[in-house]
Amino acid sequence: MNEGTGIRDYDWWLVTIIFAICGIGLLEIWSATHASHLAGMHWKQAWWIAMGFGFMLLLSRLDYHSVLDKAPILYVIGIIALLAVLVAGNTRYGAKRWLPVMGEFLQVSELAKLIIIVSLARFFAEVRTERLSVADLCKAAVLITVPIGLILLQPDLGTAMVLIPVVLVGAYLAGIQWKHAAVMVLAAALMVPIGWHHLKPYQKERVTTFLRPEEDPKGSGYQILQSKIAVGSGGFWGKGLGHGSQNQLGFVPVRYSDFILAALAEELGFAGVFVTLVLYTALLLRLIQNAQHAKDRAGMFLVMNVRLRRFVN
């Protein structure tokens, strides 16, 4: 990853794995939507993949250090964007999450996630110590609390929750001390009831149904239960592409994105799930390997967190 990256410098293993995963994703999106009004969505997805790949090539031409240099500016831009969405954002499904940009709606918190990661990487890289001090920890906390707080205000509990492992892994890699970690965990545990109290009813419901979907199988637990039925009915070999009844008849909710794994599990069975998860594991392990070879800690953070985020999604 030096200046003037050549073809051979790319990690072709990584690229292969990514393409395999994208391929499976495309296939399942096609299967899940080809017979519905969403037909053609896989072309859209393919287009996005191509764009993403182009973007990746472009980025790889860039030294990530220059990106890191601009982290404070990016951070400020991110905060402004989050504020803007609160003030002028589009309200959909009862939450202000979208900013109209060039005819498309941009979900600002998605962008903010990336910026938070970059900023964290920059911050931890600058600390340059094996043992994080309390002061550093506090600074890091402030750094991430502001954007997370703004995201929560939208409200977008989901995105905020996704950021938690990012922060945890970041802190772990930065060399957090065990006693600090213990204190933080304790504090977080104490915060849970207070936070719970401030949740909106539908948010509470979402958490409880996630934990116990069977309690209200036709109500709020519907999506989770239907997905479980889809997964379970797939069996070992699955029902075949385009033949999953749960998927094709629309019982699996948002089967083309959030619940695509359920759709895949129904149609391709345990075998399909196995292949997919192995691919993901390979991807992650490969990335970690790359991170170990990264020249500095900031690079390691970037690699780890960007990929980690993908996985959690």
Partner 1 sequence: MRLTVISYTIVGLMALLLLGFWKLQIVNSDRYTQLAERNRVRSIPIIAPRGAMLDRYGRVIVDNYPSFSVLLLRDDPQQVERLLPQIADGLSLTLDDIRQQLDSAKALAHFQPIVIKPEATPGDIAFIESHRADIPVLEMLMVHRRRYPRGGFMAHVSGYVGEVSSDQIEESGGRNRPGDIVGKAGLERQYNDHLMGVDGMRRSVVNNVGREVGRLEQTDAVPGKPIRLTIDYDLQLVAEEALVGKKGAVVAVDPRTGEVVAMASQPSYDPNDFAIRISKEEWQALNEDPERPLLDRAIQAQLAPGSVFKILMSTAMLESKAVPADYHVFCPGSAQFYGRVFHDWEAKGHGDVNLHKAIVHSCDVFFYNLGKQLGIDRISFYAGNLGLGHKTGVDLPGEEPGVMPSEAWKQRVFHQKWYPGETISVAIGQGAIAVTPIQIAYMVGGIVNGGRFHQPHLLLSDKPAPEIDFPISDSTVDTVTEGMYGVVNEPGGTAGASRLPGIELCGKTGSAQVISEQGLKRVGKRAELKDTAWFVGFAPRQNPEIIVSVLVQGGGHGGVAAAPIARAIVKAYYDKKQGKIPPQQLTTQAVPPGIPPSFAADTARNNKTDAEAEEAVPMKPEPVSAAPQSTPPVTLNP
Tokens read off for 240: 């075949």
User: Is 310 among the residues that bind partner 1 (CB under 8 A)?
Assistant: no
With contact defined as beta carbons under 8 Å apart, do 157 and 196 qualify? Answer: no
Binds partner 1 (CB under 8 A): choice among 231, 260, 298, 302? 231
User: Is 269 among the residues that bind partner 1 (CB under 8 A)?
Assistant: yes
With contact defined as beta carbons under 8 Å apart, do 169 and 305 qualify? Answer: yes
* Minimum CB–partner distance for residue 4 and partner 1 (Å): 27
- Bridge partners for 96 per DSSP: 91
Size of the site for partner 1 (CB under 8 A): 38
Tokens read off for 113: 């996630």
Q: Tell which positions 162-191 bind partner 1, by CB under 8 A.
A: 169, 172-173, 175
Binds partner 1 (CB under 8 A): choice among 23, 72, 149, 219? 219
User: Is 229 among the residues that bind partner 1 (CB under 8 A)?
Assistant: yes
Residue 177 per-residue DSSP state = -
* Minimum CB–partner distance for residue 264 and partner 1 (Å): 11
Between 154 and 226, CB nearer to partner 1: 226
Segment contacting partner 1 (CB under 8 A): 88-96, 137-145, 190-198, 269-277? Answer: 269-277
User: Is 77 among the residues that bind partner 1 (CB under 8 A)?
Assistant: no
* Residue owning tokens 């929560």: 152
User: Is 235 among the residues that bind partner 1 (CB under 8 A)?
Assistant: yes
Between 47 and 311, CB nearer to partner 1: 311
User: Is 265 among the residues that bind partner 1 (CB under 8 A)?
Assistant: yes
User: Is 234 among the residues that bind partner 1 (CB under 8 A)?
Assistant: yes
Residues whose CB is less than 8 angstroms from the CB of residue 288 and which lie 6 or more positions away in sequence, other chains included: 303, 304
Between 106 and 169, CB nearer to partner 1: 169
User: Is 277 among the residues that bind partner 1 (CB under 8 A)?
Assistant: yes
Rounded Cα gap, residues 73 and 52, in angstroms: 23
φ, ψ of residue 99 to 5 degrees: the values are -115, 130
- Each as own residue / partner, the long-range contacts of residues 69-78 (CB below 8 Å, 24 or more positions apart, any chain) are 71/118, 71/119, 71/121, 71/122, 72/119, 72/122, 74/115, 74/118, 74/119, 75/115, 75/118, 75/119, 75/143, 77/115, 78/111, 78/112, 78/115, 78/116, 78/119, 78/147
Binds partner 1 (CB under 8 A): choice among 55, 88, 250, 295? 250
String of DSSP letters for 186-220: HHHHHHHHHHHHHS-HHHHHHHHHHH-GGGSTTTT
Between 150 and 261, CB nearer to partner 1: 261
Interface ranges with partner 1 (CB under 8 A): 169, 172-173, 175, 218-219, 226, 228-236, 245-246, 249-251, 265-266, 269-270, 273-274, 277-278, 280-281, 284-285, 288, 291-292, 300, 304
